[in-house]
Structure 1
Amino acid sequence: MDTLPVTLDAWLARLEAMHPKAIDMGLARVQQVKDAMGLAFSCPVIIVGGTNGKGSTCAMLETILLRAGYRVGLYTSPHLLVFNERMRIDGQPVDDAGLIDAFGKIEQARGAVSLSYFEFTTLAAMQLFADAGLDAVIFEVGLGGRLDAVNVLDADVAIVTSVDIDHTEYLGDTREKIAFEKAGIFRAGRTAICGDPVPPATLVEHAEKIGADLWLFGRDFNYAGDKQQWNFSGRGNRRNALGYPALRGANQLLNASSVLAALEALRLRLPVSAQDVRSGLATVELAGRFQVLPGRPVVILDVAHNPHAAATLAQNLDNMGFHPYTYAVFGAMQDKDIEGVIAHLKGRIDHWCVTDLPLPRAASGEELKAALLAADSALAETGSEHTVQSFASPALAFANALSRAGENDRIAVFGSFLTVAGVMEFRNSAHH
């Protein structure tokens, strides 16, 4: 037995090197280790899957439940700046010591079972949350649903936020195939919520076949709103005169409606007052989801990395009012539908600063530049009103945009989590 790491960084390096495949779908190995560790929850378990909107949905659930005085665990991924962001207890990231302790327990329990990085960290979250004796736990699905490590838990309430095309090599290349994977988190006799206004038939059929209690947007729950406020109606529960969620963006009422449907389903176990809902929606925060930073020029951070999210980003940019020029800092993974992302944004960006990212499966800045030049004949390399330039890092791309942007312009930073994280790190170091 080799000696175990003593720092979080050393543990994470070990986990990255340990398992032959970065993404290894299937539940048998995680289930075996979970059983060996005796991990179980007596409090309600909420699992959130979907193509886009998972993070926002989790953040709203967490904030409303915390406002109501409950003790809450939240597991999300990936992280932007530090690994500890992935696991929060009572709204605070867990500390290194707790993580190191949990990793040690898993190492002891797993025997000869090999676990991927995500599986290992998912079990660590379960261990930390089980030890903390919480009132509610919220787990965000990593990829898909049916075969994702989070799915070894039986959700009391499972939410699928949206179904769109992403991760085709694991989940299939149609909304029908992807919806079937997402619906894998539903359970017989438990609440299953779908916030997608056009749910693929495969999701509805699967829910009915296993006997889940399916809540569909437009059938079982709905919202209506004007410029000032909005109303939610569920199966037996109305919430009126609500303020808009503090998270900006066109799709947040869909996400908020799924959250209120989940809370209605759990109302006997986790009662939540109208005031808790109002203050939760008013104060919720989430880094990198159409996050508009204070100061000038305006900087927008958005982890939009598929066409569905890019369409929402485009809509959100359109709703912001007039800016003479818009700069983009854009970096993306090679397996994404880069043409599809560009198609939604190409008329809205004047100057593109595209970037390499520090991962082997990232598209290079030069590849992104070629895709942009092919998609938009108005773009030139330099000297015109519409340019595209390639940089070696998000920080360099952002510094270039910053040097050229006027104070009434805006800079949209989007694509991979790594694009947004690179710019956040650059801004943090520039401010110190």
Structure 2
Amino acid sequence: MVNPSAQVAFNSLPDWLTYLEALHPNDIELGLERVRQVYNRLDLNFSQTKVVLLAGTNGKGTSCHLMQQLLCAHGFNVGCYNSPHIHDYRERVTVNANWLSEQQHCDAFQAIEQARGNIALTYFEFGTLAAIYLLAQQSLDYILLEVGLGGRLDATNIVEPDLSIITTIDLDHQDWLGTNREVIGFEKAGIFRAQGKAVCGDLNPPDTVKQQALEKQLDIVWQQQDFCYQIEPQYWSWQGKKNQFNHLNKPNMPIQNASTVLAGLEQLGLELDINLINACFIDFQLAGRWQKISTQPDVIIDVAHNPESIRFMQQQLQQYSHQGKKIAVLGMLKDKDIKTVINTIKADFDAWYLADINQPRGAKATDLQTELTVSDKVSCYQSIQQAYKSALADAQLDDLIVAFGSFWVITDILTD
């Protein structure tokens, strides 16, 4: 652990990131007291900007990016903070979908370093404060902040939102958030503000979320109650409190989450143009979300790593048209629900290429193998790159390779 009282300065983004990785012994340390102290010292002004907080087990990243694209299409200046990144740290902070410069990130890190004094911050906390600082320097109509973990105690929750959105609620990060949907729902509902505006996109929200909405007297809209969607073979339709849109293009994301985003825009009081919406939907693609990166054989990458996201990936897989075998390249973190993930989807693949994730939280390929039977075609490798290259070498031109299980899987494949 780096001495928190030592003030430093670096001239490059890689140097700053190396410093942040050594700054705190823990990857995760939930709580807002330390972050709030530093945030208050920054004295940032968001009075001219509307802030949206997006939490959820799945879909918050894609929802954040879709909302940014839709707001930009309607003529607004929009800043966005997401985590984690896949290829380049600068992916985490965008203004009108564009990255900021390395120098801007370095300046922001320097500002946080000076403001924190003797206060120790984790990598995520430091980066979140720097992102908020960066976005405060821009002339923005909207700032969209993706919650990292949970909601109530996540570093993003230090900012007062004009709108709070929960996409879905399911089991994930159970060591930190709890072992059932009621407890996890309570944590995610921590982004609600008394008498504030909110959207809940979950199809069956836990009672804890409903109770928090009632106690805080929210102006909240609920999926299937105040807004809803219907999927048709080629298109989909959406009904909100004010708008109704038919013949919508299907974006490359769960329609449930796209529906939640439209409800969020309606809660913000925007006049929506169906032509602009459809143009965004048809072009929407977020890296690592059912993303096709190669053909002959077809290769698709997906960050799906928990039961809910795996079920959606399974739907995509079953609808995918191809002639050959389906081959899985899988790596996971050891704190994920490995058993449920593999058992949910194992019947959909003909062969498995399992890989170690060489990170502190990474599971070994042999850990994954225990959930597969001796009759399954399984190979184990010491890295994602090895597993992926072996799958490519063994695949026929009409096969389908799907690499999934963690952001680390996608990062290693795209940077290889």
- TM-score tier, shorter chain, comes to over 0.9
Structure 2 residue corresponding to 1:160, chosen from 162, 166, 179:
166
In structure 1, the partner of 2:381 is 391
Q: For 1:20-48, what per-residue CA distance to the aligned partner results, in whole angstroms no more than 9, with x for missing partners?
A: 32211111111111111112312111111
Distance in 2 between residues matched to 1:40 and 1:205, nearest whole Å: 32
Counterpart in the other structure of 1:88: 94
Q: Distance in 1 between matches of 2:247 and 2:49?
A: 30
In structure 1, the partner of 2:396 is 406
Q: How far apart, CA to CA, are the structure 1 residues paired with 2:219 and 2:394? A: 54
Secondary structure at the counterpart of residue 234 of structure 2: coil
Displacement of 1:87: 0.7
The whole-number CA distance in structure 1 between the counterparts of 2:83 and 2:392 is 29
1:2 Cα deviation after fit? 4.5
Q: Which residue of 2 aligns with 1:384?
A: none
Q: Of residues 255, 258, 261 in structure 2, which corresponds to 1:256?
A: 258
Gap regions ≥5 residues in structure 2: 1-5
Any unmatched runs of 5+ in structure 1?
A: 380-386, 427-432
The equivalent residue for 1:429 is none
3-state SS of paired residue (1:132): coil
Q: Distance in 2 between matches of 1:162 and 1:110?
A: 34
Structure-to-structure mapping, 1:57-206, within 5 angstroms: 57-206=63-212
Deviations 1:245-277 (A, max 9, x none): 1x15xxx2111111110111112xx54422221
Determine the structure 1 residue equivalent to 2:406. 416
Where does residue 3 of structure 2 map in the other structure?
Answer: none
Quote the residue 1:17 is aligned against.
22
Q: Deviations over 1:175-231 (max 9, x none)?
A: 000000011111122221111101111111111111122211011100123122222
1:396-429 deviation line (CA, Å, top 9, x unaligned) = 1111111111111100000011111111122xxx
Q: Hey, what's the Cα distance between the residues in 1 that align with 2:294 and 2:76? A: 32
1:330-386 residue CA offsets vs partner (Å, 9 max, x unmatched) = 0001111111001111111111000011202211112222332xxx3421xxxxxxx
Amino acid at match of 1:352: W
- Paired residue secondary structure (1:224): strand
Q: Higher mean Cα deviation, 339-348 or 40-49? A: 40-49
Whole-angstrom CA distance in 2 between matches of 1:377 and 1:132: 57
Is the Cα–Cα contact under 8 Å of residues 54 and 166 in structure 2 kept in the other structure? yes
**Segments of 4+ moved more than 3 angstroms:** none
Q: Which moved more, 1:321-330 or 1:129-138?
A: 321-330
One-letter identity of the residue aligned with 1:259: V
Letter in 2 for 1:300: I
Q: Tell me the equivalent position of 2:34.
A: 29
After TM superposition, give the deviation of residue 241 of structure 1 in Å. 2.4
Aligned with residue 13 of structure 2, among 8, 18, 21? 8
Aligned residues of 1:353 and 1:391 also touching (Cα < 8 A): yes
C-alpha RMSD over aligned residues: 1.3
Is the alpha carbon distance of 1:151 and 1:115 closer, same or farther for their aligned partners in structure 2, counting shifts above 3 Å? same
Secondary structure of 2:348 counterpart: coil
Distance 1:241 1:157 in 2: 28
Moved more, 170-179 or 220-229: 220-229
**CA deviation profile, 1:112-153 (whole Å, cap 9, x unmatched):** 221111111111111111111111111000000000000011
Counterparts of 1:213 and 1:22 in 2: how far apart (Å)?
35
C-alpha distance in 2, partners of 1:114/1:357? 28
Determine the C-alpha separation between the residues in 2 that align with 1:227 and 1:366: 41
Q: Do the aligned residues in 1 keep the contact of 2:324 with 2:399 (CA within 8 Å)?
A: yes
Q: Is 1:378 aligned with 2:383?
A: no
- SS state at 1:239 partner: strand
Give the percent of matched residue pairs that are identical in Structure 1 and Structure 2.
Answer: 40
Mapped partners of 1:348, 1:58: distance in 2: 30
- Range with greater deviation from structure 2 (361-370 or 77-86): 361-370
CA distance in 2, matches of 1:199, 1:166: 16
Q: Secondary structure at the match of 2:415?
A: helix
Aligned to 2:300: 300
The farther-off stretch of 284-293 and 257-266 is 284-293
| Aligned equivalents of 1:361, 1:398: Cα separation in 2 | 20
- 1:266 corresponds to: 268
Of 125-134 and 171-180, deviating more is 125-134
